[in-house]
Amino acid sequence: MSTDFTPRSTILDISPYVPGKSSAGANQKIIKLSSNETPLGPSPKAVESYSHGSSKLFRYPDGSASELRSAIAKQYGLDADRIICGAGSDELLNLIAQAYLQAGDEAIFTEHGFLVYKIAIQAAGGTPVVAKEVDLTANVDEILKVVTPKTKLVFIANPNNPTGTYLPHDEIKRLRAELPSSVGLVLDGAYAEYVRRNDYEAGLELVATTENTIMTRTFSKIYGLAALRIGWAFGPEPIIDVLNRIRGPFNLSSPALAAGAAAMEDVQHLEQSIEHNDRWVAWLSEELSALGLKVTPSVANFILVSFNEEGSKTAAKADAHLIDDGIIVRRMESYGLPNSLRITIGTEAENKAVVKSLTQFVEQAG
């Protein structure tokens, strides 16, 4: 049966986002290190607030997310009126594309950037443009090379997923300064809380001092609230006003709003998560490097491990070996890195299990 009711032609050009695997076989206990989730879980205070928030499920949530925006503003010293909350930063990235792109417009992201950027650009009717990376790192000069009069947005994940690399603040400022004023710069700081580098700044300063920059953040990573889908963005008031005009009126549930506010205020739990990550990202990187594997230096809560292109030590064979041991990591073919695996930092026991499994793999491969 045929029909004339069809979607916009460009929608069918979109490759759906495929999340990391979450199972390794029937009845097998798994270690899931495929989605960059925190091994410490959420703040107990967030869990308690979530439970309390579920007592009035018949009421609509606060459409303005005032409590959560106030908690974020207090933590970072921001104007709450310049904050918008969404169902994960994914929703906000899509809203930005929807608001500022139309057919014929171009938006730039980097070679191994987060896959959601391309989807958001295409869904809005824009044309995705890829800028080359240098040593698996976003490069300002390469981005500027592909800017045209049609460019409307540039998406930068800083730190980048899946490489774990980052651009220092001076380079981000240079990018903003050399981009045309008609181009919006979107700084995705999903992993910003993990970074401990003196030359890094997530984007708050640049957003506060320019009129065409916006920063997105998430509660899905270090705050351990991935299941609740909570994100936020900080931007100039005119941009926030535009996004509020098109977002859903009740896009976050009351329990999620309560949990997010409590998580933001639990600084002690945040610091524990940072300390855990600092210790184990260094340990895991050192142990896997000692096996002869190439580990890209990471400032996030995961590492990118590269294998041989062919022979007995490929990424595909390493992944199969890990799965046999009940360990799930992320294959990188969709990111243009077929010879690499992304491994999330887990608990002490999980990290040691990864090293044990890959040691056996390397020894068996010869």
- Tell me the pLDDT tens digit for each residue of 259-316: 999 999 999 999 999 999 999 999 999 999 999 999 999 999 999 999 987 788 999 9
Range scoring the smallest mean pLDDT among 13-22, 139-148, 272-281, 296-305:
13-22
Give CA–CA dist 225/232, Å, rounded. 13
Of 87 and 24, the structure prediction assigns the larger pLDDT to 87
What value does the mean pLDDT of the chain take? 94
Give CA–CA dist 168/159, Å, rounded. 10
User: CA of 273: how far to CAs of 76, 86, 311, in Å?
Assistant: 18, 23, 38
> Exposure string (b/e) for 112-127, b if CB count within 10 Å is 16 or more?
bbbbbbbbbbbbbbbb
pTM: 0.92
* pLDDT tens, position by position, 208-222: 999 999 999 999 999
> How does residue 184 score in pLDDT terms, banded at 50, 70 and 90?
very high
Give CA–CA dist 251/262, Å, rounded. 19
> How does residue 320 score in pLDDT terms, banded at 50, 70 and 90?
very high
pLDDT at residue 28 greater than cutoff 80: no
CB 280 within 8 A of CB 351: yes
pLDDT at 20: 64
Question: Among 15, 20, 70, 32, which Cα is nearest to 327's?
Answer: 32
> How does residue 156 score in pLDDT terms, banded at 50, 70 and 90?
very high
DSSP H or E stretch at residue 101: none
pLDDT at 24: 57
Of 53 and 253, the structure prediction assigns the larger pLDDT to 253
Q: Which class does domain 19-41+268-365 fall in? A: alpha beta
CATH 3.30.9.10 given to domain 44-265: no
Range scoring the smallest mean pLDDT among 20-29, 342-351, 352-361:
20-29
pLDDT at residue 1 greater than cutoff 60: no
pLDDT at residue 17 greater than cutoff 80: no
Mean pLDDT of 145-151: 98
User: CA of 185: how far to CAs of 23, 124, 235, in Å?
Assistant: 37, 17, 10
pLDDT at residue 26 greater than cutoff 70: no
The reply to whether 44-265 shares the fold of 19-41+268-365 is no
Name, in order, each residue with C-beta under 8 angstroms of 171's C-beta and a sequence gap of 6 or more. Answer: 140
Mean pLDDT of 225-242: 97
Give the three-state DSSP class for 70.
helix
Question: Among 165, 150, 148, 149, which Cα is nearest to 110's?
Answer: 165
Give CA–CA dist 10/339, Å, rounded. 30
Domain locations in the chain as residue ranges? 19-41+268-365, 44-265
pLDDT at 2: 62
Mean pLDDT of 147-164: 98
Does residue 236 have a cis bond before it (omega within 30 degrees)? no
pLDDT at 4: 76
Mean pLDDT of 18-41: 79
